[in-house]
Amino acid sequence: GQQLNQSPQSMFIQEGEDVSMNCTSSSIFNTWLWYKQDPGEGPVLLIALYKAGELTSNGRLTAQFGITRKDSFLNISASIPSDVGIYFCAGENSGGSNYKLTFGKGTLLTVNP
């Protein structure tokens, strides 16, 4: 089956630092999504990307859909303690006829105040 390789697995940073994480795949995806999971909660959608090359921001978060459609990255600027959590990338590649997402294994982010 399809796989998403998400890196890094974990990050320990100081408050105020910028963060970058990415996902790569051997398969092409039509949609890339980034989710965040707070401790003890379910994942919440942060950003959705629909076009190759698209760059989208949501506050301090910026994500890009790679030109090859096989990768995506997420940047967080000026991190704060509430950024702590697990960040998942996910891809969808059927144009809507397949109802499934493929998830990466997550990046665990720890922010030291």
Partner 1 sequence: NAGVTQTPKFQVLKTGQSMTLQCAQDMNHNSMYWYRQDPGMGLRLIYYSASEGTTDKGEVPNGYNVSRLNKREFSLRLESAAPSQTSVYFCASSKVADTQYFGPGTRLTVL
Which residues contact partner 1 by CB under 8 A?
1, 6, 9, 31, 33, 40-45, 48, 50, 88, 92, 94, 96, 98-101, 103-106
* Nearest distance in Å: CB 5, partner 1: 11
Nearer to partner 1, 80 or 100 (CB): 100
* Nearest distance in Å: CB 105, partner 1: 4
Joined together, the tokens standing for residue 89 give: 């990338």
Nearer to partner 1, 45 or 80 (CB): 45
* Nearest distance in Å: CB 51, partner 1: 13
Q: Which residues contact 93 (CB under 8 A, 6 or more apart)?
A: 2, 27, 28, 29, 30, 31, 102
Nearer to partner 1, 95 or 113 (CB): 95
Q: Which residues contact 112 (CB under 8 A, 6 or more apart)?
A: 12, 13, 14, 15
* Nearest distance in Å: CB 68, partner 1: 19
Between the alpha carbon of residue 30 and those of residues 27, 48, 74, 76, 92, the distances in Å are: 10, 11, 17, 23, 6
CA distance 34 to 72: 9
Nearer to partner 1, 35 or 73 (CB): 35
